[in-house]
Amino acid sequence: MRILIFSGYNHILQSAAALATACHAARRGARVLLVSVGPGHLAGALLGQSLGPRPLELEPHLAAMEVGPVDEIGGRWDDVRPTLRGTFANRIREIGSDELPAFPGMDAVAALLVAEKARQTGRFDLMILDGPTPDSLLRAVALPDVMRWLLRLVFGIDRGPGRSRLSQDTAIIPTSLIAPNAVAPLQDLRIVLEEQRARLDGLAGTRFRLVVTPEELHLPAVRLMLGNLGLYGLASDELTVIGELSEVDEHSRRDFSPETGPVRPHLRVGPLPTRPTDRDTWALRGAALYRDSEIFSPHAPTRPAVGEREIRLYIPFMDPKELDLALVNEEVVVRLGQQRRHVLLPGIAEGGRLRARVEGEVLRLWVE
């Protein structure tokens, strides 16, 4: 099952693009699940359909639902809580789902939990996410790094179930002083978050599409967001511009032209009415937006798989002058502007030497 994420700074345009794409893909034979995430839900209103937390079959190849992040994560917590064991875990087990906080990026985390359930059913070929916002998505993909940093700082755990002497010496509460299974629930949570982020990686078939207006297209924030998400592995094959081609300035056309290479997304420009209507009309709007072709371009760039001793980060609009690398506790810390990503390369722990090279807008890291 592939995942296609629509996000944008204009919520109604974002929802319209996601809905039109879902209806168009379903009419072309794909089994589609449209999922609306975030604090506000517009897909159902644009469709004139009442949606809930369970998939509602709208037609043979199309189902839709609305996700409440707090309820979705709370339900998952209620499933996991009885399995916790140990003195420290017992304290955590006492926390009820109604006590869980609303943390940054929870919209995207809840959507990924739904995506995993949908994948396991085998009922869908494509899941289209209406949301979350770009900022919420960025916080979600950075969350595993925050958890790893916290576990290393407080308990001295570097990665997986292991620990290094350096981290143990500097830990606030080293695990050598407490029961071995005391931090297992936190470690399991970190691993789950990293697995969820891996499902967003471009290599897993996930695509991210930012929906913008021609006026927003030339703003620096659009290019900055594409670069930040690329740092965390999200692939953007297209930038959906709702408007006329004549409204797109020449500078933007050059920035997002096919000649820029495989890293930057290409422009898809077209009008898209947002007036609420029926599924047939939304399918026609989607067909017009995609010129009655497949929603995934056959010429979309592919990313070669790399081994565990090598990783390639495809970062649109990357400025090498803003790039900084550091080796901290056997992790590679990649800093780009105000963003930081912690990368694990197992070869470093085995005594290998870190190598790095910038190839256009691709950062290649490997161990030899």
**What letter does residue 358 receive in the DSSP assignment?**
E
The whole-number average pLDDT for the span 111-130 is 87
Contact 38, 133 (CB under 8 A): yes
Residue that wins the pLDDT comparison between 352 and 39: 352
User: CA 13 from chain center: how many Å?
Assistant: 20
Residue 79: is its pLDDT beyond 70?
no
> Do 22 and 88 have their domain in common?
yes
Residue 50 lies inside a defined structural domain of this protein: yes
The whole-number average pLDDT for the span 316-322 is 91
> Do 116 and 207 have their domain in common?
yes
User: How many domains does the chain fold into?
Assistant: 2
Last residue of a domain, one of 242, 258, 289: 289
> Do 78 and 200 have their domain in common?
yes
User: CA 224 from chain center: how many Å?
Assistant: 16
> Do 226 and 86 have their domain in common?
yes
pLDDT digits (tens, 9 = 90+) for 210-269: 999 999 998 999 999 999 999 988 888 899 999 999 999 999 999 998 777 778 899 999
> Do 208 and 266 have their domain in common?
yes
pTM for this structure?
A: 0.84
> Do 234 and 324 have their domain in common?
no
pLDDT digits (tens, 9 = 90+) for 278-309: 999 999 999 999 999 888 865 555 565 566 68
Residue 148 lies inside a defined structural domain of this protein: no
> Do 255 and 314 have their domain in common?
no
Residue 234: both structure tokens together: 């999200």
> Do 266 and 314 have their domain in common?
no
CA distance 172 to 167: 10
Which candidate, 62, 141, 84, 145, places its Cα nearest to that of 109?
Answer: 141
Strand partners, 63: 33, 57
What count of other Cβ atoms lies within 10 Å of the Cβ of residue 173? 13
> Do 218 and 283 have their domain in common?
yes
Quick one: pLDDT at residue 59?
A: 93
Strand partners, 5: 129, 208
Task: Note down the domain range covering 227.
Answer: 2-132+183-289
Last residue of a domain, one of 289, 321, 341: 289
Strand partners, 36: 66, 130
> Do 193 and 331 have their domain in common?
no
**What is the domain-level CATH number for residue 336?**
2.60.40.790
> Do 240 and 349 have their domain in common?
no
